[in-house]
Amino acid sequence: MDVKNGLGVPQETLDAEVKSFFESAPPLQNRDDISGKLEEFVERNSAVSGNGRGRRVVCVTSGGTTVPLEQRCVRYIDNFSSGHRGAASTENFIKAGYAVIFLYRRGTYQPYCRSLPEDPLVECFEITDESNIQVRQSHAEAVKKAITEHHAAVAEGHLLKLPFTTIFEYLQMLQMIGVSMSRLGANAMFYLAAAVSDFYVPWKNMAEHKIQSASGPLDMRLVQVPKMLSVLRKDWAPLAFCISFKLETDAKILLEKADVALKKNKMHMVVANELSNRNEEVVVVTANEKISVRRDKTQVGDDVENHLIRLLVERHSAYLENPDDL
């Protein structure tokens, strides 16, 4: 077997699986619209400024992908992720001077809106008389902060939000973003916090209509999703600084799995986290180090992402100075 890519599969097999995934995926409905927005965003942020470089741009992925079981989808398999990590990280990257492409699952946490109640429209606002609506005093601070900071990030061209639901949408959009950001060279970063399906039903094998329960037990074959992270590194954006995440529920295997992911996918860093304490602590795994990053419990409202993004920004700076050192 001619194994060339460290993934345990011949490169030709991986290429064929990737090709088959994209050829059989239902085409994105709004591909032209996404492509136009992406081009404009990357172009604007690649303009050279006083530092002799363009702005650094990071693609933050957030939330879980779904795997539809029927083409006219009624049922699907989901991946757990609230999107809190992605939303908090986006705010921190923008604060650090990055432009962010936020590729997120519809309905998950959004940057600058994390502290709003679950149903902000009915909880934050009240009707004072027939024609006037006002913000409730109890939520005034949070609403003001959300609106001002969000509007500023979008108006200044530092935040582009692109939603997905299915694994088909997610990977097609990630490919578009990868190819578009490749022109930024090492100024580009990928921060892949989304929980991405490992298995899927190829579109051509999928039932068109709702699967009927009268037909008895459901026997369905799921195919492995091709290892797209290695394709991102090798083909889509080879110079970008890439960070992926590894989530486990069993602490005993977490760091070993993160190490394997680092090597197999040729990531620059892998952030390892355990489901139960993911908001308290993560471990950043590199080729030579395992760095524990924790939330400061003594500071009200502190998030682990405040510390994590600071570390990643530093490492990205070092990578820009010396791309071969990592």
**Which residues of this protein are in contact with ligand PAZ, per CB under 6 A?**
81-85, 193, 195-196, 245-247, 273, 278
The CA distance from 141 to 147, in Å, is: 10
Residue nearer to ligand PAZ on the CB measure, 278 or 315 = 278
Q: What are phi and psi of 118, to 5 degrees?
A: -60, -35
Residue nearer to ligand PAZ on the CB measure, 247 or 284 = 247
The least distance separating ligand PAZ from the CB of residue 267, rounded to whole angstroms, comes to 12
Query: 199-200 and 67-68 as β-strands: parallel, antiparallel, unpaired?
Result: unpaired
The least distance separating ligand PAZ from the CB of residue 278, rounded to whole angstroms, comes to 5
The least distance separating ligand PAZ from the CB of residue 225, rounded to whole angstroms, comes to 11
For residue 276 the two structure tokens come to: 């139960």
For residue 28 the two structure tokens come to: 């994105």
Residue nearer to ligand PAZ on the CB measure, 42 or 195 = 195
CB 322 within 8 A of CB 253: no
Tokens 């489901």 belong to residue: 275
CB 79 within 8 A of CB 195: yes
Residue nearer to ligand PAZ on the CB measure, 41 or 245 = 245
The least distance separating ligand PAZ from the CB of residue 208, rounded to whole angstroms, comes to 29
Q: Is 257 helix (H, G, I), strand (E, B) or coil?
A: helix
For residue 11 the two structure tokens come to: 């490169």
Burial class (CB in 10 A: 0-12, 13-18, 19+), 201: buried
The CA distance from 100 to 118, in Å, is: 24
Residue nearer to ligand PAZ on the CB measure, 60 or 184 = 60
Residue nearer to ligand PAZ on the CB measure, 153 or 247 = 247
Query: Which of 124, 83, 90 lies closest to 107 in space, CA to CA?
Result: 83
The least distance separating ligand PAZ from the CB of residue 195, rounded to whole angstroms, comes to 4
The least distance separating ligand PAZ from the CB of residue 22, rounded to whole angstroms, comes to 21
